[in-house]
Amino acid sequence: MSANVQPWDLPAPEGEGRPSAFGLLPEDLEGIPGRAAHAFSRLQRPWTWREDGLDLARAAREWLAASHDLALPVLLERHPSEDGATKVVLGLRDGERIEAVHMPREVRNPRVTLCISSQVGCAMGCTFCATGAMGIRRNLSAGEIVGQVLALIRALGPERPHAITLVFMGMGEPLHNLDNVHRAIRILNHPQGLNISTRRITVSTSGLVSGIERLSRMTPRPWLALSLNSTTDEARSGVMPVNRVWGLARLRQALDDWNLAPGEKFLLEYVLLDGVNDTPEDADRLADWLGDLRAGHNINLIRMNEHPASAFRTPPQARLQAFLDRLKARGCFVTVRKSRGRDVQGACGQLLK
């Protein structure tokens, strides 16, 4: 590989074999026996399925099976957390495995957040992330991404999609697999399918500016989360290699160019690494970098979730609190993420298969 070519500049390998039927849109089903819209709805709504699988007429099933795989990713392992989340291991048709996390929330209107993967491994090499230690194995197809969601719903619920929030914060850099990720979003958002609003779909990126710029022009467009994690180019380049190509100033320009819709907000994720990026001076630089984004957008502080693939550690509570207080004093809207599934290695940065 040339010294000037980065791993994310190269397309990740694609899976081999027949494509998944769960990656089809209604227009792809023209010619199926019966109505295309009906077949799409049956494919995308697990509560319509029989105990033994899809509730499709025999002729429609045979039409699909002639060219497409009708199997969902296989749920191989469940790892329940003490906090109610469940990390699952899903098997793909070529033997690869991915991890995803099912996180119910018992609030006034109960909801379930599904943290889903977009790739097997990751090319970005972020040094605090377990998935980054794998390197990139391959992209997930749109059908595998959608199938991952359907497999989680079928096994763990909820029974209806209005209670679902999707976050592309699992394995992989979603913007390195943007074509498949966006096609999956189109399917998951389709009114004849799960009809999940794009206001309940968030795509998190390590800062792949070329992908941010492409996604900003796409329709439908999910909400954007940016994993920031440092406040100087030197420090950020040390933990996130992508910053060596697109530094903090260029990243900020990409946010300015996003052209936010009414009510749309960014999520700015900041993983606190003990002794690395958690000083009051870091908090001040973060507030300065945010500028006019301070009050209207959520800065989400994340305690480093420790794992064997990284030497970084979680900062003490007192340092986290001081960082939080400093940001609030600077007029920032800031929250601390309650990481789910830490005890089963299912929290942010811990997924590794």
Distance of CA 32 to the CA centre of its chain: 32
Our answer to whether residue 82 is catalytic in this structure is no
Our answer to whether residue 30 is catalytic in this structure is no
Of 18, 41, 60, 61, the residue nearest 150 (C-alpha) = 41
Exposed, middle or buried: residue 167 (CB in 10 Å: 0-12, 13-18, 19+)? buried
Of 17, 19, 75, the residue nearest 43 (C-alpha) = 19
Alpha helices in the chain (DSSP H): 36-44, 58-65, 142-156, 178-189, 209-216, 233-239, 248-256, 280-290, 317-329
Cβ atoms of 189 and 167 within 8 Å: the answer is: no
Exposed, middle or buried: residue 66 (CB in 10 Å: 0-12, 13-18, 19+)? exposed
Strands 334-336 and 201-205: unpaired
Q: Across-strand partners of 138?
A: 120
**Of 14, 30, 99, 115, which residue is the catalytic one?**
99
Cβ atoms of 176 and 13 within 8 Å: the answer is: no
Beta-carbon neighbour count of residue 50 at 10 Å? 8
Of 269, 263, 323, 326, the residue nearest 296 (C-alpha) = 263
**Of 122, 126, 332, 348, which residue is the catalytic one?**
348
Cβ atoms of 288 and 327 within 8 Å: the answer is: no
Q: Is the N-terminal amide bond of 280 cis, ω within 30° of 0?
A: no
Task: Give catalytic residues, as residue numbers.
Answer: 99, 348
